[in-house]
Amino acid sequence: MQTDATIITAKELTKTFGDFTAVDAISFEVGKGEIFGFLGANGAGKTTAMRMLCGLILPTSGKATVAGFDVFRQSESIKQNIGYMSQKFSLYEDLTVKENMRLFGGIYGMSTKAIREKTTLILDELNLQKEQNTLVRSLPLGWKQKLAFSVAIFHNPPIVFLDEPTGGVDPVTRREFWEMIYRSAHNGTTIFVTTHYMDEAEYCNRVCIMVDGKIEALDTPSALRQQFSTDSMEGVFLQLARKATRSGD
Amino acid sequence: MLQQFLAFVKKEMLHILRDTRTLFILFGMPIAQITLFGFALSNEVKNSGVAILDPARDDDSRALIDRIDASKYFDVVSYLHTPQEIDRAFKSGKVKMALIFPQRFSNDLHHTNKATVQMIADASDPNVATTITQYASVIINDYQKELSPAQIPYRIKSEVRMLYNPQLKSAFNFVPGVMAMVLLLVCTMMTSISIVREKENGTMEVLLASPLPPILVIIAKAVPYLLLSMVNVATILLLSVYVLELPIAGSLALLVGESILFTITALSLGLLISTITNSQQIAMMISLVGMFLPTLMLSGFMFPIENMPIPLQVMSNIVPAKWFYLIVKDVMIKGLGISAIWKETLILVGMTLFLLTIALKKFKIRLS
């Protein structure tokens, strides 16, 4: 789905916390409709990098634009154009499936009619019609994650940021989850996803591997495999990650 | 903007309504506290046991004893025969006060115009002892006045009137205190917990990544608790007027207005607490230990501030509940208007603005 138009650019983007450099001058570009994977061990700086792009953290230095807006000065405009799914579960457990959708639709300023239509659409897609008035708390984890993704793209944002969306989910559900990601990428949504599952890296159009806050490799999965002469992303990752001096967070 | 806001307020309402246990506590607490303070924890001392040593047994002593017994404050439980029995009567635990008449009580009274009644009170609880000797003195004085209406010239009659609370009802003190406590608990604790919960669950991150302005998140969180507090204020006032029979002397509108002001003070405190911690438990501890205890101790509602050591008196000034307590007492019981409480009101407004400014400054619109 990769097109020429770039939708995210980062140039020498850096974030330091005190004398700790979490993200060290990373530069990359993401094309419109691309599935862009951010790989790295725990503490490599993936989440920090993503949060800077979402306007959740102010970068220390460098430059970055998301959907054409500057992360330093226009974070409010960025927020209008993105969906975000955090590492922790991002829905309200004590609200029902429908209420969660209505809430996030409302927060993103959708009309009541649009919210209603989209709700029906998603309930159909997820096969959750029967559970629409169930509290999210009582859904199985796999469903929750799929629902959280649907809610993150509820307002049809041009870009969606997913921070380790499949943590703790079984392989079958992960597979289904990625099918959903593919579907929305097919519809033109740009997907920016962090993960530490190597099989998921294979699903991405391009992968960026972070080690100790720096980008060590950035290419399509097949090109990376060739470059490191190994037959899996796992092999690529292990070769790079061995250099890491930082341990998990 | 409005739609975003309403969607968020609705969500907050649902959070509160779904949590039935907390809801039950929130609505049950004012009722329980008013009932407790109004009925169980009373400052009034009723039905104190009295022992009588009356060797005179004349008309006047009997008439006085009858009056003491008839009063709701006293029950004559034993008649003693010798002074040695007094000690035993107190040790039995049934007697709080002993009344000792002289041999020739009536005679002294009518011929020398001077008779003495000795009151011995059990001062192991000094407040009770003071209170009951006062009750007894009033009864004796009344009797004396009836005996000699304006007979003796140049006698200074002291007439005590208990202003604003003629029946010396303790509810007069408790209702304003309970109001301060409940509002503080609902607003400070619940608001801080509800904001910190979003941080703990990770939903705050999602909200911050959304176009919802953070200030709207804060206001939307405050609105349901403001409404809830007004329900609580209404409950407390209804209970105090209809159950405790404590009328609202002043303007109801003023009282409600001041309550809203104090609610906003409490909400700002809650907001401030939520900015300094990321854990619900800590938020609760700070609210309870840091806010609730000082309110209980230093607002003047449990212990009179005038009797405290100077450092504590100074400290009490920074407790918002102290000012609210003064305001409610003035409006509700004394029936005073804004001209009497503008200073306290201004202090509360100042505190609110101060707390709100720090809280909003500290409230992170970004992560870390």
pLDDT digits (tens, 9 = 90+) for B237-252: 998 888 888 888 889 9
Q: Contact B209/A54, CB-based, under 8 Å?
A: yes
Q: How many CA atoms lie within 13 A of A176 on its CB side?
A: 16
| B278 in A contact zone (CB under 8 Å) | no
Q: Contact A84/B8, CB-based, under 8 Å?
A: no
Do A127 and A138 touch, CB atoms closer than 8 A? no
Burial B109-126 (b: 16+ CB within 10 A, else e): beeeeebebeebbbeeee
Q: Which residues contact B200 (CB under 8 A, 6 or more apart)?
A: B278, B279, B280
Give the mean pLDDT of B4-18.
90
Q: Give the pLDDT confidence of B171-205 residue by residue, as tens digits.
A: 677 888 888 888 888 889 888 999 999 988 888 88
Contacts of A57 in chain B (CB under 8 A): 366-368
Q: Contact B366/A80, CB-based, under 8 Å?
A: no
Write down the pLDDT at residue A182. 92
Which class is domain B48-163? alpha beta
Q: Give the pLDDT confidence of B280-327 residue by residue, as tens digits.
A: 899 988 888 888 888 888 888 778 888 888 998 898 899 999 999 999
Q: Contact A108/B202, CB-based, under 8 Å?
A: no
Domain boundaries, chain B: 48-163, 171-367
Q: Which residue has the tokens 């029950």?
A: B75
Q: How many CB pairs under 8 A join A and B?
A: 83
Q: Give the pLDDT confidence of A105-121 residue by residue, as tens digits.
A: 999 989 999 999 999 99
Which segments in chain A show pLDDT lower than 50?
A: 1-3, 248-249
Write down the pLDDT at residue B149. 62
Q: Is the pLDDT of residue B368 over 60?
A: no
Return the HEC string of B259-312: HHHHHHHHHHHHHHHHHHCCCHHHHHHHHHHHHHHHHHHHCCCCCCHHHCCHHH
Nearest CA in chain B to A90: B203
Return the HEC string of B50-68: EEEECCCCCHHHHHHHHHH
Disruptive mutation site among A60, A80, A90, A162 for chain B (greatest number of B CBs within 10 Å): A90
Q: How many CA atoms lie within 13 A of B42 on its CB side?
A: 13
Of B3, B10, B202, which is closest to A109 when you measure between CB atoms?
Answer: B3
Residue A235 dihedral angles phi and psi, to the nearest 5°: -60, -45
**Angstrom distance (rounded) from CA B36 to CA B317:** 27
Residue B192, helix vs strand vs coil: helix
Do A162 and A148 touch, CB atoms closer than 8 A? no
